[in-house]
Amino acid sequence: MTDTAPSITREQTARVQTARVQTTRVHTALFAEVTQKLRLRAKELLESGEVVSVIGWEAGRFENQTTPAFITDANKVDRLIFNEYCANTLGKYVLSEKLDGKVAVCVRGCESRGINRMISDNQLKRSEVYLLGLPCPGMVESPEVSHASEPSHAPEASSKLLSKCAFCTHRQPVVFDEYLGTCEATDETLGGLIPKPIDPSERFSDVEELEALSLDERNAYFEKLYNNCIRCYACREVCPCCTCRECFVDQARAGWQGKQNNLEENRFYNLTRVFHIGDRCVECGECERVCPMELPLMKINRKMVKDLTTLFSVPEAGLDSETISPLNTYDVADLEEYL
């Protein structure tokens, strides 16, 4: 069997990545300005007592890496930063933080859609969060930390767009209380500053690529995926749709999920996870990013999103908090395949 031609997916990613490098310098100014504003507003919000904590990012342990920050003390707002290494999507942290009171959280496109998602799933009230909208040019991968013996070499700055950002359709927050960017929150007005997000109609290209394979090839592909899963459940933990108090994998008495790490159980977990969130997935790509085994989870997630989109012509998830997810409703005029 011959190798297939270079995929559309990789071409697209490369295109976005090139655009990314060209605009890096503009971004440095943008990031500095946004960080300034963010610290200022965080301080004001905490001092006025309007919120009990601010969720953002702070410098990580290594250079060119960040980690989520939970600031509760107005004197510590200077820890907050916003730069091109803010890979974590923060939305889900709101659920645990809000127990103490109103929470301010930084929202880019992915976070804002996650927040909408949790509001429509009754996990969150809009009044429980204060949303600080941030402009997002797409984030880049933190350079690999070298384990070489000489520690003098700082990791080189990378410019590889995170794969989740290459497929992002909404870089700008779709809901916020205030916007900390430099211009109005539309991709158009941000114009040359920020490379255009991927066209929504192109976002299924990687699924189509897999669909074109034969049944056996697809089977092998996904068996490889299941075989490599270590069932750490990180993909569940970060997902703004996975908000059940008790997940099916933890229902020991019902016994849905066996504890063995084998193909059958891993397939059961992965397919069930996808099916539980597929009608509501906001395509933030966080599950795929956190997977320690680097499994291409979006290729399953997007398959379900694609089918539901084409079968029931539903809009992208998480753009507002009112739309009912396609599997929670029906239409008597739905396509009939089972007569």
Is-contact 162 147, C-beta < 8 A? no
Give whichever of 124 and 238 is closer to ligand SF4, judged by the CB atom: 238
| 261-300 footprint of another protein as x/- string (CB under 8 A) | -xxxx-xx--xx-xx--xx------------xxxxx---x
Q: Which of 190, 288, 287, 199 has the alpha carbon at shortest distance from 241?
A: 287
Applying CB under 6 A, the span of 63-71, 79-87, 135-143, 293-301 interacting with ligand SF4 comes to 293-301
**Are 94 and 126 within 8 A, CB to CB?**
no
Among positions 232, 263, 311, 324, the unique one binding ligand SF4 when judged by CB under 6 A: 232
The structure tokens listed for 72 are: 């509760």
CA-closest candidate to residue 308, choices 277, 263, 338, 265? 277
Angle, alpha carbons 200-205-209 (nearest 5°) = 165
By the rule CB under 8 A, 337 interacts with another protein: yes
61 CB-side CA count, 13 A: 2
The answer to whether 266 touches 231, Cβ cutoff 8 Å, is: yes
| Nearest distance in Å: CB 295, ligand SF4 | 5
Closest CB to ligand SF4 among residues 94, 229: 229
Which position has the token pair 């907050």?
A: 80
Q: Which of 283, 274, 109, 75 is nearest to 187 (CA)?
A: 109
**Piece of 4-12, 132-140, 216-224, 234-242 that binds ligand SF4 (CB under 6 A):** 234-242
Q: Residues interacting with another protein, by CB under 8 A?
A: 1-4, 7, 207, 209-211, 213, 215-225, 227-228, 248, 256, 262-265, 267-268, 271-272, 274-275, 278-279, 292-296, 300, 303-304, 307-308, 311-312, 326-327, 330-332, 334-339
Q: Residues interacting with ligand SF4, by CB under 6 A?
A: 229-235, 238-241, 277, 281-287, 291-293, 295, 297, 301
